[in-house]
Copies of this chain bind each other. A is one copy, B any other.
Amino acid sequence: MQNNIRNNIRKIHATVLAKIKPTPEEREKLAELARKIEGYIVEEGVPCEMVGSAARKTWISGEHDLDMFIMLPTTLSREELEVEGLRIAKSVADRANSFEMRYAEHPYIHARFGEYRVDLVPCYRVNSVRELKSAVDRTPFHNQYVLSRIRGLEDSVLLLKQFMKRSGVYGSELRVRGFSGFLCELLVLRYGSFLGVLEAASDWQEGLLIKPGASTDASRRAAGVGAGTGTGTDADVDAEIAPGNPWEPLCVIDPTDPNRNVAAALSLDQFYTFVDAARGFLAEPSIGYFFAEPKPRMTEHEILAAIAERGTDLLAVVFGIPDMVEDIVYPQLYKMEQSVLTLLKEHGFAVHRSSVGVQVQSAGGEGGAEGGDNVVLLIELMSGSLPPLMKHDGPPVYMRKHAERFKMKFEDEETFSGVYIENGRYVVDVYRKYASAKHLLESKLLSCALGKQMYECASLGYTVLEGEEVVYAADFEFLSRFFR
């Protein structure tokens, strides 16, 4: 890398860090709250551990999240753990401004202390990873793994997280399907620095396997840790093509469990969006890869003009859902999207693009349980209508039994043609059942694989909008993103 580029990158890093690195005051405030909460828990005679980015000093300035794990003895039964854990968590949360119960593998408390959001999570205190009783118990081990290795690399983690946020690939929640904070830390450990990660990622190909190794201090130091330069290579860390799980573009072995992929939530397109951004930044470094001006929303007039100019046919499937956890809604939405596209394709419609999202039903509240939200599945078709005639493919002629049944079936049906032979198969030109994509979805949406909750919601009623009608159903933010 040339010196002037290197200097440019250094300047960018400094500018970015000045904005995202917590100040000593911010750190002290957080540490103070953490100590206070630790005190409350210890008062109950139970040890606790602060985990997550706050514990590792890899949180981005302005984020005020604190994860506190309440470590209970393994002598408790699962039920006792829940009861006792929640009792302690509540006794802490009683001092908070507000709190609510949330559910992961077991219940925990989400509390607000002033501007801070604090998760109080009961778990078992086990001596080694082999003794884990639930997935939650693993978190303290992740914490220890990173804590003991990350010193001096915190800035790289911060830069990587901010870079990923800007690219829209940060977060392992099922809406985003991107990179988790823990994954960012493992990548920095693996490649020695922010730039090391970007340089490696520029050559990534789906199917990549990254095995964790104890990244030695020596190798990290030699790579110029902390200055954000150089590419660290760990002698005891291997990368090769992963054999299994072809649907997972990246496999990063969990250092606490060789059977667990830390990057399991990452989608193929998010994987490559990061690869593409990494290449872009290295080719032409700029602050724009960390912070972007928000694009103005398109106006109704602009959206209508875009629809007209594209000449395609737009459809929107819309139905209401109650307030639900994103991680439950989004996998079902993505499943529904694929299933609906398959239905359309099976009926001869050429799909150009699609997008699915959840938007607030009424402007008067932030997705409250009362008004609920709307699911909007937007689909752009080359044409929403097809001719009445359709080719129906039958069996290859050589399959005699199938052939007989096929010919029998169409003997008495009204068709455009007799059964004829094309490319070695029987075919017959029949009347298309659904010449309109709108009618198809109106009739068959519920036969698609929608996921349990989405099926229940759509069963209560859904609307299929066409063409300009979609402007009055989907919000302009969503449509603006679709048309750009």
Total count of chain A residues near the partner, CB < 8 A: 44
> When the two chains form their complex, are residues B269 and A422 in contact, meaning their CB atoms are under 8 A apart?
yes
Decide if the interface of chain A is mainly helix, strand, loop or mixed.
Answer: loop
> When the two chains form their complex, are residues A388 and B310 in contact, meaning their CB atoms are under 8 A apart?
yes
Task: Give 8 closest A-B pairs by Cβ, nearest first.
Answer: A311-B387, A205-B398, A272-B397, A310-B389, A311-B388, A312-B387, A272-B421, A268-B424
The complex places the Cα of A279 from the Cα of B249 at a distance, in Å, of: 51
| A276-291 interface bits toward B, Cβ cutoff 8 Å, 1 = contact, 0 = none | 1001000000000000
> When the two chains form their complex, are residues B391 and A387 in contact, meaning their CB atoms are under 8 A apart?
no
> When the two chains form their complex, are residues B205 and A389 in contact, meaning their CB atoms are under 8 A apart?
no
Is A202 in the interface zone, CB < 8 Å from B?
A: yes
The complex places the Cα of A229 from the Cα of B349 at a distance, in Å, of: 52
Is A237 in the interface zone, CB < 8 Å from B?
A: no
The complex places the Cα of A203 from the Cα of B401 at a distance, in Å, of: 10
Nearest neighbor of A203 in chain B, beta-carbon distance: B400
Is A416 in the interface zone, CB < 8 Å from B?
A: yes
Residues on B with C-beta less than 8 A from A310 are: 387-389, 416
> When the two chains form their complex, are residues B352 and A391 in contact, meaning their CB atoms are under 8 A apart?
yes
Please list 18 pairs of residues, one from A and one from B, whose beta carbons are closer than 8 Å in the complex, sorted by A's number.
Answer: A202-B400, A203-B400, A204-B398, A249-B424, A272-B398, A272-B421, A276-B421, A279-B403, A279-B404, A309-B388, A309-B389, A309-B416, A310-B387, A311-B389, A312-B389, A352-B389, A352-B429, A383-B386
Checking B350, B418, B423, B429 against A268 with a beta-carbon cut-off of 8 angstroms, the contacting residue is B423
CB within 8 Å of B: which residues of A?
202-206, 249, 268-269, 272-273, 275-276, 279, 309-313, 348, 350, 352-353, 382-383, 386-389, 391, 397-398, 400, 403-404, 416-418, 421-424, 429, 435, 484
The complex places the Cα of A30 from the Cα of B125 at a distance, in Å, of: 107
Residues on B with C-beta less than 8 A from A309 are: 388-389, 416
The complex places the Cα of A63 from the Cα of B309 at a distance, in Å, of: 64
The complex places the Cα of A124 from the Cα of B400 at a distance, in Å, of: 47
> When the two chains form their complex, are residues B269 and A424 in contact, meaning their CB atoms are under 8 A apart?
yes
A250 to chain B, nearest CB (A): 12
Contacts A383-B383, A397-B276, A398-B205; is A423 near B269 (CB within 8 Å)?
yes
Copies in the complex: 2
Contacts A382-B387, A416-B310; is A397 near B484 (CB within 8 Å)?
no
Residues on B with C-beta less than 8 A from A275 are: 397-398
The complex places the Cα of A268 from the Cα of B396 at a distance, in Å, of: 11
Contacts A383-B383, A389-B311, A389-B352; is A273 near B421 (CB within 8 Å)?
yes
Residues on B with C-beta less than 8 A from A313 are: 387
> When the two chains form their complex, are residues B391 and A386 in contact, meaning their CB atoms are under 8 A apart?
no
Checking B276, B312, B424 against A272 with a beta-carbon cut-off of 8 angstroms, the contacting residue is B424
Residues on B with C-beta less than 8 A from A353 are: 391, 429
> When the two chains form their complex, are residues B421 and A269 in contact, meaning their CB atoms are under 8 A apart?
yes
Residues on B with C-beta less than 8 A from A203 are: 398, 400
A327 to chain B, nearest CB (A): 24
A207 to chain B, nearest CB (A): 9
Contacts A382-B386, A424-B206; is A279 near B417 (CB within 8 Å)?
no
> When the two chains form their complex, are residues B484 and A418 in contact, meaning their CB atoms are under 8 A apart?
yes
Nearest neighbor of A381 in chain B, beta-carbon distance: B387
The complex places the Cα of A422 from the Cα of B269 at a distance, in Å, of: 6
Residues on B with C-beta less than 8 A from A350 are: 348, 350
Residues on B with C-beta less than 8 A from A418 are: 484
Nearest neighbor of A208 in chain B, beta-carbon distance: B398
Residues on B with C-beta less than 8 A from A424 are: 206, 249, 268-269, 272
Residues on B with C-beta less than 8 A from A422 are: 269
Nearest neighbor of A388 in chain B, beta-carbon distance: B311
Residues on B with C-beta less than 8 A from A417 are: 484
Residues on B with C-beta less than 8 A from A311 are: 387-389, 435
Residues on B with C-beta less than 8 A from A421 are: 269, 272-273, 276
A73 to chain B, nearest CB (A): 48
The complex places the Cα of A313 from the Cα of B391 at a distance, in Å, of: 14
A320 to chain B, nearest CB (A): 29
> When the two chains form their complex, are residues B206 and A398 in contact, meaning their CB atoms are under 8 A apart?
yes
A398 to chain B, nearest CB (A): 4
